[in-house]
Chain A
Amino acid sequence: MTATVLTGVEATAALARLTIKRALRGKAIWAAAVLALVPLLMPLLSKDSPAKVWSWLVGTYTVVLTIAAPILVASSMSDEIDDRTAAYLWSRPLARWTIIAGKIVGLTPVIALTVAVGLTLSWVILGAGAAVSVATLARGIGAFTAGAVGFATVSATIATLAPRFAVPIAVCWLLLFDATVGALDFGLHVVTVSFGTRALANGTDLVSGPVSLAVLTAIAAALAVWRIDRIE
Chain B
Amino acid sequence: MTAPVVHADHCSKWYGSVLGISDITWQLPGGVIGLLGPNGAGKSTLMKLMAGMLRPSRGTIRVFGGDPADDLAVRRRIGYSPEHESTYDELTGRELVTALAHLAGVPRRQAGDAAVAALEHMGMKPAMDRPVKGYSKGMRQRTKLAATLAHDPDLLILDEPLTGVDPIARAEIIDRIRGLATTGKTVVVSSHVLYEIEALTQDIAVIYRGQVLAEGNLYEIRKLIDHHPHRISVECDRPRALAAAIAAADHVRRVMIDRRGVTVETTDPDRCYDDLAGAVLDLGIDATALTSPDNNLAAVFEYLTGDRGQSQDAQ
Contact = CB atoms under 8 A, between A and B. Distances in A.
B75 interface: yes
Interface residues of A, number: 28
A1 B151 CA distance: 8
Contacts of A83: 86
B73 A22 contact: no
Contact of B90 (A4, A11, A14, A25): A25
B252 interface: no
B87 A85 contact: yes
Nearest to B20: A232
B86 A93 contact: no
A181 B62 CA distance: 50
A88 interface: yes
Contacts of A91: 51-53, 75, 78, 80, 82
Nearest to B75: A93
A90 B73 CA distance: 14
A45 interface: no
Interface string B94-110: 01000110111111101
B165 to A, nearest CB: 18
B15 A89 contact: no
B54 interface: yes
A21 B95 contact: yes
A15 interface: yes
A127 interface: no
Nearest to A18: B99
Interface in A86-107: 87-95
Nearest to B117: A1
B82 A93 contact: no
Contacts of B99: 14, 17-18, 21
Contact of B152 (A1, A6, A26, A93): A1
A49 to B, nearest CB: 45
A89 B73 CA distance: 15
Interface residues of B, number: 33
Contacts, number: 89
B273 interface: no
A21 B99 CA distance: 10
A222 B88 CA distance: 27
A92 B95 CA distance: 17
Contacts of B108: 14
A26 B90 contact: yes
Nearest to A17: B99
B152 A232 contact: no
B103 A6 contact: yes
A18 B99 CA distance: 7
A26 B90 CA distance: 7
B110 A1 contact: yes
**A1, A3, A6, A26: residue with the most chain B Cβ atoms closer than 10 Å:** A3
B88 A93 contact: no
Given A3-B76, A232-B53, 8 more contacts: A3-B152, A4-B76, A6-B102, A14-B108, A21-B90, A21-B99, A83-B86, A90-B51
Interface of A: 1-6, 11, 14-15, 17-18, 21-22, 25-26, 83-85, 87-95, 232
Interface of B: 15, 51-54, 72-73, 75-76, 78, 80, 82, 84, 86-88, 90-91, 95, 99-100, 102-108, 110, 114, 147, 151-152
30 contacts: A1-B110, A2-B107, A3-B76, A3-B105, A3-B106, A3-B107, A3-B151, A4-B105, A5-B72, A15-B103, A18-B88, A21-B90, A21-B95, A22-B88, A22-B90, A25-B90, A26-B90, A84-B86, A87-B80, A88-B103, A89-B103, A90-B53, A91-B51, A92-B100, A93-B72, A93-B75, A93-B105, A94-B72, A94-B103, A95-B72
